């Protein structure tokens, strides 16, 4: 084993090992160790403040992880009265859903979030872990309540009313992010949602810019998109829907007349390299360093739209992780969304790597 491999083996065992400890373990001088460390850092094999080795197959998802409840009314909803419903519970949260979906696509995935020391938090983490997501960096906050999202659906399946309790994410301060930075920086790709506070998002964007780390942002909602700083240099790709895109571009939905490319360019002007605007039945508008293109959707028999946007982000991330261009990766995103739309799950268990590649193949053949 050569010296670099010996040093990497020691660092993997203990990312916080000192250079003196390394020198003693392998029988060379501390200055020689410093030279090897500098070379490994320059090559990108080691990243971050601690000696954490980069893992070129890992996606770190940072943001929301909630307990989702859906109450589906069995008849027309009557206000001020008791309504018979069917209640289902599932794991939710944009970052968690994306991590879950990527794990289902055989990607090595980690989730950094905050949950309360309650049954909901335990359940969400355990279910996410079962899906193959590394939740070891998630922080359990004593005395806090795990985020919850409760939706009331009418008899047709459309949302009638929803309640969100997301105050716990205000606790995800920049210092918490920095405490975990060595683990974050060791990933090949970071995907963050705007459940994070504004100052935490700004810190994350700036650090990714400084260290050249690929960063995807999911705006979550037009209101939460307001948390993003005006300066978005450091954001590799962003995935707003039309309403969120208008918020980011400073435009009104009412005056947008299918000028989706102009809308995307306005967002790109804030510093984003790749902009993907999701347009429902119209498809996805891409504007970025690779050009411009409106991607039509794959014809789909829709069961439920919940989770389709998260699946799109996961599919594009999968494509990029497998060395495809961002424009080509958009097809992977559309295919992942297509599969998810045919289920009633936010993170569809049917969305496997095999199913995704089969769908891509069918699209390529024009089936």
For residue 12, what pLDDT band results from cuts at 50, 70 and 90? confident
Q: Residue 269: its pLDDT value, please?
A: 96
* 341/113 Cα distance (integer angstroms): 26
Mean pLDDT across the stretch 224-252?
A: 94
- Number of residues in the chain: 367
Q: Is residue 206 pLDDT above 70, yes or no? A: yes
pLDDT higher than threshold 90 for residue 308:
no
Confidence (pLDDT) at 342: 77
Backbone Cα Rg of the chain: 22
pLDDT the model gives residue 98: 96
Strand pairing of 284-288 and 274-278? antiparallel
Q: What is the pLDDT of residue 1?
A: 60
Rounded to an integer, what distance in angstroms lies between the CA atom of residue 216 and that of residue 313?
A: 9
What pLDDT is attached to residue 283?
92
Q: Tell me the per-residue pLDDT of 286-297, one tens digit each, with 9 for 90 and over.
A: 999 999 999 998
Residue 81: CA atoms inside 13 Å, Cβ hemisphere, count? 8
Mean of the pLDDT values across residues 70-75? 90
Statement: residue 55 has pLDDT above 60:
no
Average pLDDT over residues 224-244: 96
- Confirm if 60 and 53 have CB atoms less than 8 A apart: no
Q: What is the mean pLDDT of residues 121-129?
A: 96
Q: How far is CA 175 from the centre of its chain?
A: 20
Q: Report the share of the chain in percent with pLDDT over 90.
A: 59
Q: What is residue 54's predicted lDDT score, i.e. its pLDDT?
A: 57
- Residue of 202 and 347 predicted with greater confidence: 202
Weakest mean pLDDT among 47-51, 83-87, 109-113, 217-221 = 47-51
Please compute the mean of the pLDDT values over residues 181-193 and round it to a whole number. Answer: 91
Identify the CA nearest to 239 among candidates 285, 271, 197.
285
Q: How confident is the model at residue 2 (pLDDT cuts 50, 70, 90)?
A: confident
336: pLDDT confidence band, cut at 50, 70 and 90?
Answer: very high
Query: Can you give the pLDDT at residue 47?
Result: 65
pLDDT of 343 higher than 80: no
CA distances from 219 to 77, 266, 313, 360 (A): 31, 16, 11, 27
pLDDT at 51 over 80: no
Dihedral sign of CA atoms 33, 34, 36, 41 in order:
positive
- The pTM is what? 0.81
Q: What is the pLDDT of residue 306?
A: 67
Mean pLDDT, rounded, for 13-38: 82
What is the residue-averaged pLDDT of the chain? Answer: 89
**What average pLDDT score do residues 63-78 get?**
92
Top mean pLDDT of 37-46, 47-56, 195-204, 299-308 is at 195-204
Q: Which comes out higher in pLDDT, residue 134 or 50?
A: 134
pLDDT of residue 53 exceeding 60, the answer is no
């Amino acid at each position: 084993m050569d010296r670099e491999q010996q040093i990497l083996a020691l660092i993997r065992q203990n990312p916080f090992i000192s250079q003196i400890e390394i020198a003693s373990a392998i029988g060379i001088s501390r200055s020689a160790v410093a030279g090897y460390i500098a070379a490994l850092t320059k090559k990108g094999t080691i990243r971050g403040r601690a000696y954490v080795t980069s893992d070129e197959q890992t996606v770190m998802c940072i943001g929301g992880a909630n307990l989702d409840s859906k109450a589906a009314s069995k008849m027309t909803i009557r206000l001020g009265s008791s309504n018979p419903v069917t209640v289902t519970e599932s794991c939710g949260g944009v970052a968690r859903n994306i991590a879950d979906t990527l794990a289902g696509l055989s990607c090595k995935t980690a989730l950094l979030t905050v949950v309360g020391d309650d049954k909901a938090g335990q359940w969400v983490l355990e279910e996410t872990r079962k899906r193959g997501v590394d939740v070891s960096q998630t922080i359990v906050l004593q005395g806090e309540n795990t985020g919850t999202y409760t939706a009331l659906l009418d008899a047709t399946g459309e949302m009638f009313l929803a309640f969100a309790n997301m105050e716990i994410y205000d606790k995800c301060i920049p210092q918490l992010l920095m405490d975990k930075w060595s683990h974050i920086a060791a990933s090949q790709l970071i995907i963050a949602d705007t459940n994070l506070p504004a100052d935490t998002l700004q810190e994350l964007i700036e650090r990714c810019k400084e260290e050249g780390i690929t960063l995807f942002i999911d705006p979550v909602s037009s209101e939460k998109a307001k948390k993003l700083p005006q300066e978005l240099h450091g954001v590799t790709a962003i995935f707003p829907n039309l309403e969120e895109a208008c918020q980011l571009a400073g435009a009104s939905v009412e005056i947008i007349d299918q000028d989706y490319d102009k809308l995307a360019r306005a967002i790109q002007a804030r510093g984003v390299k790749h902009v993907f605007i999701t347009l429902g039945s119209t498809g996805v508008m891409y504007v970025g360093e690779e050009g411009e293109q409106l991607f039509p959707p794959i014809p789909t028999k829709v069961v439920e739209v919940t989770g389709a946007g998260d699946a799109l982000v996961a599919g594009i991330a999968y494509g990029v992780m497998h060395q495809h261009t961002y424009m080509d990766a958009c097809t992977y995103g559309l295919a992942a969304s297509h599969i998810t739309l045919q289920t009633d799950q936010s993170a569809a268990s049917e969305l496997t790597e095999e199913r995704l590649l089969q769908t891509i193949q069918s699209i390529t053949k024009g089936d």
